[in-house]
Amino acid sequence: MDLVEGHLAREVPENVPVWDIDPYDPAILSDPTDYYAELRRLGPFVYIPKYAMLACGRFEVTKTVFSDWERFVSSRGVGLQDFSLETPWRPHSIILEVDPPDHTKTRTVMSRAMSPRAVNNLKEAFQTAADSLIDQLLEQGPFEAVEDLAETYPTTVFPEAVGLHKSDRRRLVDYGAMVFNALGPDNALRQQAMAKGPDIVPWITEQCERKNLRTDGIGASIYAAADNGDITEAEAGMLVRSLLSAGVDTTVSGIGSALWCLATHPEEFEKLKEDPSLARPAFEETLRYTSPVHSFCRTANLDTEVAGISIAEGTKILCVLAAANLDEDHWPNADRFDIERRPVGHLALGTGIHGCVGQNIARAELEAVLSAIARKVETITLTGDAIWRPNNAIHALDRMPLSFTAKS
Ligand code: OVM
């Protein structure tokens, strides 16, 4: 049978438009809005011949495929490769790339380790770090928002919360770039990210060992589940690896995109300054509007049907979460960034049994940063072009020159 990018090349289902596009073209990844709109316009699914896959971007159908874990599995990989046919680049994630019943046990351990109560204990340290970083940037003058704020903040507070003895900003960010680019095709983005593996992967693996973690962090609470017999010691190490895979580039992107939204929508920033308690809804709207994780795949595990379209076993389906979050049929004035929208049910954190297990931490980090800005900053000005950093699964900025002025 024909393999394309490591998965079965199934035939075009009846009534599905064939769309000759490369969604992983760096130009599209950097400026995806028209691609999202066309994807939604063409139908519930399109067939993309270059990758022999289906793609969806309308809200309802994307939500259905993404959350129906019995028909559209994660255990065959959430990128283009089918793990039932090819060996993944690293041992598969035991929480992301797995289905029930195996998923249930690891998910429970991770949910507990990042429960609302566990995260509440982190909030004070998150706020102190955010306040002092914003104070420092106000003193510094114009700054590079990706490096000096979006990357610096999570790579300071998150490794500390996990319990790493030392952070390494470059390696943590580049490991995220590997993990998320790996979900795409074997293009230049993936190859360039993977080339850094020999320097990064051994370091990451070492940080996941029990002896390299403080005894009071999230990592330690995962190892406590091994002491209880809920999981093995090796599984605990794998779950710490999941924290370091999913917990950095996602929040880096979230902070960068939130700053970009506020800098380009001053009237929304005015609302936030007037009422700093809008920090949280402002983050939710940033998630809806920019979708840090733009797409993940699922694999049909049987012959089935969605929205009247027949889908053959083994079909890879690109679920374009970012397109669903901008669907006019679900979100009135979808192209408007409105921090008072309260976009309940957006798909930026996924949905269903695989919905982001770290979302309490992500929200705590963003609330700390946005509330510090709301209290301390008078104006946010773009002093040059915002440049995006194409990635096969993440929508994030590469560079953004900003200047803040202080409230008097
Ligand atoms: C993991 C993981 C979890 C969520 C996202 C992610 C691809 C990785 O368990 O390693 O990014």
Are 368 and 376 in contact by the 8 Å Cβ rule? The answer is no
- How far does the centroid of ligand 1 lie from the alpha carbon of residue 273, in Å? 34
Q: How many residues does the chain have?
A: 408
Q: Which CATH homologous superfamily contains domain 3-406?
A: Cytochrome P450 (1.10.630.10)
Whether the CB-CB separation of 386 and 399 falls below 8 Å is answered with yes
Binding pocket residue ranges, ligand 1, CB within 6 Å: 93, 95-96, 179-180, 242, 245-246
Q: Which two tokens stand for residue 51?
A: 């990758």
- State whether residue 381 is helix, strand or coil: strand
Chunked in runs of 10, what are the mean pLDDT values of the chain (408 residues)?
94 98 98 98 98 99 98 99 98 98 98 98 98 98 98 98 96 98 98 98 98 98 98 98 98 98 98 98 98 98 98 98 99 98 98 98 98 98 98 98 97
Expressed in angstroms and rounded, the spacing between residue 395 Cα and the centre of ligand 1 is 15
- Alpha-carbon radius of gyration of the chain: 21
Q: How far is the CA of 214 from the centre of ligand 1 (A)?
A: 22
Q: Give the domain ranges of the chain.
A: 3-406
Atom of ligand 1 nearest to the CA of 296: 7
- Find the 239 Cα to ligand 1 centroid distance in Å: 10
Top mutation candidate among 98, 240, 245, 361 for ligand 1, by most atoms within 8 Å of CB: 245
Nearest CA to ligand 1 atom 6: 246
Among protein residues, the one with the nearest Cα to ligand 1's atom 11 is: 246
C-alpha 245 to ligand 1 mean position (Å) = 5
| 343-381 burial code (b ≥16 CB/10 A, e <16) | beebbbbbbeebebbbbbbbbbbbbbbbbbbbebbeebe
Cα distance between residue 385 and residue 100, in whole Å: 45
- Measured by CA distance, the residue closest to atom 1 of ligand 1 is 242
Q: Tell how far the Cα of 356 is from the centroid of ligand 1, in angstroms.
A: 9
Q: Whose CA is nearest to atom 5 of ligand 1?
A: 246
User: pLDDT at position 1, please?
Assistant: 73
pTM of the model: 0.98
Of 92, 48, 50, nearest in space to 73 by CA: 92
Closest ligand 1 atom to residue 79 Cα is 7
Residue 182 Cα: closest atom of ligand 1: 7
